[in-house]
Structure 1
Amino acid sequence: EAAMKSPLRDTLEATYQQLQKMKLDKSPFVVVSIIGQELLTHSYYGASVVVLEAGLKIGTCSLKLRGSVFSALSSAYWSLGNSEKSVAYMLQDLEVTKTLGDQPGECRAHGNLGSAFFSKSNYREALAHHRNQLVLAMKLKDREAASGALSSLGHVYTAIGDYPNAL
């Protein structure tokens, strides 16, 4: 109700109608999570954290939906400059993707973690995650993800002064 009176009314109204068609409009977790993700999309990071964490407290049996909220929370916390909480949610997101056997999601999560650790100058962890990202990208034949992983590995190797591997 409150969301329908917010500046996000137009987007949320269309989304809510879709939820009604899928009969998901009665799931508190789904409704709250959608609102939190819309807030994140519109750069209301603090509000999105409050709403998304409320969604986690409500809970759901769906590991996939919970993983989606972990991913959104990692993004929100990153945007707020809280890299510790962001990385903690990234690690939870990674665990969910592994549990679900979601290799594209796992590849994405490793890329995010590699970039996060690189930004914190934790090059050992950055290398490990970008290597995992590359292995998965090649296995999936995802050229874009493989290219991103190779580029990121080059940046890490350059940062540690390992120029032969950077090339």
Structure 2
Amino acid sequence: IAREIKDRQTEGKALGNLGSAYTSLGDYAKAIDYQQQSLAIAREIKDRQTEGKALGNLGSAYTSLGDYAKAIDYQQQWLAIAREIKDRHSEGIALGNLGTAYAHLGDYAKALDYQQQWLAIAREIKDRQSEGAALGNLGSAYTSLGDYAKAIEHTQQSLAIAREIKDRQGEGIVLGNLGTAYAHLGDYAKALDYQQQGLAITREIKDRHSEGRTLENLGSAYFSLGDYAKAIEYAQQSLAIAREIKDRQSEGIALKILRLARSKSGNLSAAEKTLLDK
């Protein structure tokens, strides 16, 4: 309809929404194509807000693809526009996305700095969902740094907000993150409890990506406990989902857990033993 009536602004927004939908499906090639079209129209008609959102969505797609240099470039462009038009909500999300990209690169100092900036803005504008997400991201960064006390503190705060605002997807992800932190501490009883709670939510809301990651974490926890049968069971479920949604990173991790667990349990073919030795 937008094309028929030559409404370029609505056309650009619709293209951006299509791109976001394809990102959720994990089809990043289509997502990028639609966001690039949205970006071109936004620049043509000088719609700075839509331009910024398209840039941010492109950055998120490239983060999912593991191209962090491009992701950071697009998020920085979005951040500049958000500050120019004084869109505090978008400024905060761009900062959080930058923090996430830097965390993937292992630059936790920058990751923490950007997430703290996002947290400050979220609290200033009373955006509880963003506040919870920023706290969760801070918790994940502290887990990666090995500061599990701070990781659990921030993640528990994130969990409280997710439950308060009834953000089931956020709650499921945060429960999984708590499980990961407790697994690093060697408290596998708590780790398994949190992961199982997270798994139930991801299945309830049909979040296949998070379900696969949670199954992967359960497999890893059972492997650490020496329960190789359960480790294999959960890793196989994780592997099936990773292949279904084309999550190559999770597929690799699930295969590694499977090989190690089968090796420990003695249930390994000669070909697999050769691969493991390599």
Normalised-by-shorter TM-score class: 0.7 to 0.9
Match of residue 151 from structure 1? 256
Evaluate the alpha carbon distance shift between residue 73 and residue 147 of structure 1 in structure 2; reply closer, same or farther with a 3 A threshold: closer
Identity percentage of aligned residues = 25
Larger CA Rg, structure 1 vs 2: 2
Match of 2:218 in 1: 113
Cα distance, 1:52 vs structure 2: 3.1
Which residue of 2 is the match for residue 35 of structure 1? 135
Give the superposition deviation at 1:35: 3.3
Asked if 1:19 is matched to 2:119, the reply is no
The letter for the 2-side match of 1:79 is: H
Equivalent residue, structure 2, for 1:137: 242
1:17: Cα distance to partner? 5.6
- One-letter amino acid of the structure 1 residue matched with residue 207 of structure 2: D
Q: What is the SS of the residue equivalent to 1:101? A: coil
**Partner secondary structure for residue 163 of structure 1:** coil
Q: Is 1:103 equivalent to 2:208 in the alignment?
A: yes
**2:42 maps to what in 1?**
none
Aligned to 2:152: 49
How far is the alpha carbon of 1:147 from its aligned partner? 3.2
Q: Which residue of 2 aligns with 1:4?
A: none
Query: Deviation at 1:46?
Result: 1.2
User: In the TM superposition, what whole-angstrom CA distance separates every residue of 1:66-100 from its partner, at most 9, and x where no partner exists?
Assistant: 11221221122123222221121111111111111
Pick closer, same or farther for the CA change 1:20–1:83 going to 2, 3 Å.
same
Matched length: 158
C-alpha change, 1:12 and 1:110, in structure 2 (3 Å) is: closer
Q: CA 1:105–1:39 in structure 2 vs 1: closer, same or farther (change >3 Å)?
A: closer
Q: Which amino acid aligns with 1:153?
A: L
Residue in 1 that maps onto 2:188: 83
Q: CA deviation at 1:40?
A: 4.5
Shift of residue 127, structure 1, vs aligned partner: 1.2
Q: Any gaps of 5 or more consecutive residues in structure 2?
A: 1-108, 273-278
**How far off is 1:47 after superposition?**
3.1
Tell me the equivalent position of 2:28. Answer: none
Structure 1 runs not aligned, ≥5 long: 1-6
| Residue number in structure 1 paired with 2:89 | none
Worse-superposed segment, 45-54 or 78-87? 45-54
Greater RCO, CA 8 A, separation 6+: 1
Alpha-carbon shift at residue 33 of structure 1 (Å): 5.9
2:209 touches 2:245 (CA, 8 Å); kept in 1? yes
TM-score of the pair, normalised by structure 1: 0.76
Alignment RMSD (CA, Å): 3.0
Q: Which stretch of the first structure deviates more once superposed, 100-109 or 146-155?
A: 146-155
Q: Could you tell me the TM-score, scaled by structure 2's length? A: 0.49
Q: Could you tell me which residue of structure 2 aligns to residue 122 of structure 1?
A: 227
